[in-house]
Amino acid sequence: MASHIIDFLLIGNNFGTPEMRGVWSEQNRLKQQVQVEVALAQAEGELGVIPAEAARAIVERADPTLLDIDEIAQQGAQMKHSLMPTLIALQKQCGEAGEFIHYGATTQDIVDTATVLQLRDAFAIIQRDAVALAQELAGVARRYQHTPMTGRTHGMQALPTTFGFKVAVWLDEFVRHLTRLSEIKPRTLTGNINGAISTYASFGPQGPEVEKRTLDILGLATPTIGWQSARDRFSEFASVAALISGTLGKIGNELYNLMRSEINEIEEPFSAGKIGSTTMPHKRNPAALEGLASLTAPVLKSAALIYESMHVEHERDAMSWRAEWIALPEICIYLSAQLQNAIAIMRGMTVNEARMRQNLDMQGGLLLSEKVMFELGKKLGKQTAHHVVYECAMQAYEQRRDFKETLRAHPQMDNSISDDELNAWLDPVNYLGSAPRKVDEVIAAAQVSGLLERRS
C-alpha cells in the first residue's frame, strides 16, 4: 500500500516520473548494493585478497532478482540492521564462496557506493531532460524572437520586450545549469570502498588498490581519501538540483501569471476532455503550470535536509546519513516531474500574439514614456524632458486621457515635433532595443558551448 504521494496511482505522476521512481525503488537499491558487493569480490579476487575461485563463484551466483526482499525485510527488522540480512541471503546464494562476501568492507562502503550508482542513473535522466528542455526553449525563443510583448517590473507594465527575449533569459539560465551538471558529475559520481573508518585497515596493504579496482569495475571515480565523514558531494548535487528546480518554478509561475484571464498572453497545452473545475464548466485552469511551480518548494526543502547531513559525528554516524536516504530520492523524483512537465508545456503552449499587442497598447502610449523622454531630451535636456514627460504621464493616467494628447498640450513641448515623429516614438515595435539580437546571441553561445544542438 502506497503511503507517499510520489507512489500514489492516481496522482503520483504529478510528483515524479515512473522512470525516476524506478531508479530510487527499493528493488533497485537492493540491486545496486549487490552490484557493489559483486564488484568488490571480483576486485579482491583479481588482487589475491580473497581466493580467485571464490570471487568467480560470487560473480556467477550473486543475483539480486532471486533474493526474497520480504524475507530480507523481516530479518532486517529483527536484526535492526539495513544490510546484514542481504549479506546473509547472498552468502546462501553463493555457497562456500559466500564466506568471502563483503570481505573487509563496512556497511557504509556498500550503501554509499550503491547510492552513487543510483544517483548516476538519476543524473543521466536529469541531464537528458535538461538538454531536451534547453532545446525546446531555444525553439520557442527563436519562434517568438520578434514578437513584441509588455515587459513588467514590480508587477506593472514597464517597457516593450519580445516573448523570445523572455524565453532566451530562461535558456541562458539552463545553459549555466547544464554547465554546472557537467562540472559536478565527476565529483558526484565517486564511490567509497575503504573500511570502517576509511583507513583500509581491514583490506591489508592492498586496500587502496582494492578500492580503485572495485570502483573501476563499477565505472565510478576513486576518491583521494574516504568521504564517509565528508558529505559535500551529495550537498553539491542537491545545490545544483535546487538551482534547476528554482528556474523551473520561476518559469511555471511566470507563465501562470501570463495565462491569467486578464492578461491572456499564453495558454498551457489543452487537450479535449481536460477538466478545469468540478463546478465551473468554463474553467481552463493552469494545472500544468501550477504543478511545475509547486514542486520547487519541496526540492528546496529536501536540499536543506541534505545540507544537514554534512554534520557528521567523528568518523561516521547514522543520524545525518539517513537524511540523504530521504532527501536524495525526493529531489530527483520531484525534479524529474518538473523537467518532463516543462518540456511538454514548451512543446504545446499557445502564444496569443494578438493579445500581447493589445496589452502593449492598453495604456494609450504610456508604456513608451522612456522613449519619449530620451527623444525629447535631445531638444530640452534629459532632466527637463523627464519632468515634462512625468507631468504628462501622470495627467494621462489620473485623468484617463490619451498620453499623446497630454504631450501635445504641455507648454514646454517642442512644436517642431511632427505627429508622425511622435507616433513613431509611441510605437512599441520601435523600442525593442537589442532584444531580438540577444536571442541570436544566447542561442549561438549555447551551440558553441556544445550544450545545445545546432538546428536549421
User: Among residues 202, 145, 199, 184, which one has the least CA distance to residue 168?
Assistant: 145
- Predicted pLDDT of residue 6: 86
CA distance linking residue 368 with residue 349, whole number of Å: 29
SS3 state of residue 408? helix
Q: What does the angle CA 330 – CA 334 – CA 340 come to, to the nearest 5 degrees? A: 150
SS3 state of residue 154? coil
CA distance linking residue 25 with residue 2, whole number of Å: 12
- Among the listed residues 154, 261, 416, 418, the single catalytic one is 154
Q: What is the CATH number of the domain that holds 27?
A: 1.10.275.10
Q: Do residues 150 and 73 share a domain?
A: no
Q: Do residues 158 and 279 share a domain?
A: yes
Q: Do residues 368 and 345 share a domain?
A: no
Q: Which of 216, 250, 285 is the last residue of a domain?
A: 216
CA distance linking residue 56 with residue 37, whole number of Å: 13
Query: What length is written for the chain?
Result: 456
Q: Do residues 324 and 187 share a domain?
A: yes
Residue 264: alpha-carbon gap to chain centroid? 27
- Predicted pLDDT of residue 348: 95
CA distance linking residue 169 with residue 151, whole number of Å: 13
CA distance linking residue 298 with residue 241, whole number of Å: 12
Q: 149 has which bridge partners? A: 161
Q: Residue 157: what are its φ and ψ, rounded to 5°? A: -60, 135
CA distances from 38 to 2, 4, 24, 430 (A): 31, 32, 20, 68
- Predicted pLDDT of residue 329: 97
Q: Do residues 259 and 334 share a domain?
A: yes
- Please say whether the beta carbons of 126 and 336 come within 8 A: yes
Q: Do residues 99 and 31 share a domain?
A: yes
- Predicted pLDDT of residue 246: 98
- Predicted pLDDT of residue 278: 59
Q: Do residues 81 and 185 share a domain?
A: no
Residue 8 lies in a domain: no
Q: Which residues form the domain of 95?
A: 13-105+206-216
CA distance linking residue 327 with residue 299, whole number of Å: 9
CA distances from 180 to 166, 183, 258 (A): 22, 5, 30
Residues 6+ apart with CB under 8 A from 278: none
Tell me the Ramachandran region of residue 272: left when phi exceeds 0, alpha when psi lies from -120 to 50, beta otherwise: beta
Q: Do residues 249 and 379 share a domain?
A: no
Q: Do residues 171 and 239 share a domain?
A: yes
Q: Amino acid identity of 265?
A: E
Torsion sign, CA atoms 266, 268, 273, 276: negative
- Predicted pLDDT of residue 273: 61
Burial category of 40 from C-beta neighbours within 10 Å (exposed 0-12, middle 13-18, buried 19 and up): buried
- Please say whether the beta carbons of 127 and 178 come within 8 A: yes
Q: Do residues 44 and 182 share a domain?
A: no
Alpha helices in 278-381 (DSSP H): 287-294, 296-308, 319-348, 353-361, 369-380
- Among the listed residues 4, 81, 182, 277, the single catalytic one is 277
Q: Is 3 annotated in the active site?
A: no
The DSSP-derived string for 202-263 is GGGGGHHHHHHHHHHHHT-BPPSS--TT--HHHHHHHHHHHHHHHHHHHHHHHHHHHTSTTT
- How many domains is the chain partitioned into structurally? 3
The number of CA neighbours under 13 Å toward the Cβ of 176 is 10
Residue 199 lies in a domain: no
Q: Centre a 10 Å sphere on the Cβ of residue 436 and count the other Cβ atoms it contains.
A: 17
Q: Do residues 298 and 402 share a domain?
A: no
Q: Which of 182, 216, 250 is the last residue of a domain?
A: 216
Q: Do residues 333 and 400 share a domain?
A: no
CA distance linking residue 17 with residue 37, whole number of Å: 29
Residues 6+ apart with CB under 8 A from 275: none
Q: 266 has which bridge partners? A: 351
Residue 4 lies in a domain: no
Residue 426 lies in a domain: no
Q: Is 154 annotated in the active site?
A: yes
Quote the radius of gyration of the chain (alpha carbons, Å): 30
User: Among residues 1, 28, 39, 107, which one has the least CA distance to residue 332?
Assistant: 28
Residue 322 lies in a domain: yes
- Please say whether the beta carbons of 242 and 327 come within 8 A: no
Digitized pLDDT (tens) for each residue of the chain, 456 residues in all: 777 888 888 888 888 999 999 999 999 999 999 999 999 999 999 999 999 999 999 999 999 999 888 888 888 788 878 898 888 989 899 999 999 999 999 999 999 999 999 999 999 999 999 999 999 999 999 999 999 999 999 999 999 999 999 999 999 999 999 999 999 999 999 999 999 999 999 999 999 999 999 999 999 999 999 999 999 999 999 999 999 999 999 999 999 999 999 999 999 887 666 666 557 677 678 889 999 999 999 999 999 999 999 999 898 888 888 899 999 999 999 999 999 999 999 999 999 999 999 999 999 999 999 999 999 998 888 999 899 999 999 999 999 999 999 998 888 887 778 889 999 999 999 999 999 999 999 999 999 877 777 664
Residue 444 lies in a domain: yes
Residue 330 lies in a domain: yes
- Predicted pLDDT of residue 451: 72
Per-residue cell: 124 = 543521466
Residue 3 lies in a domain: no
- Predicted pLDDT of residue 271: 67
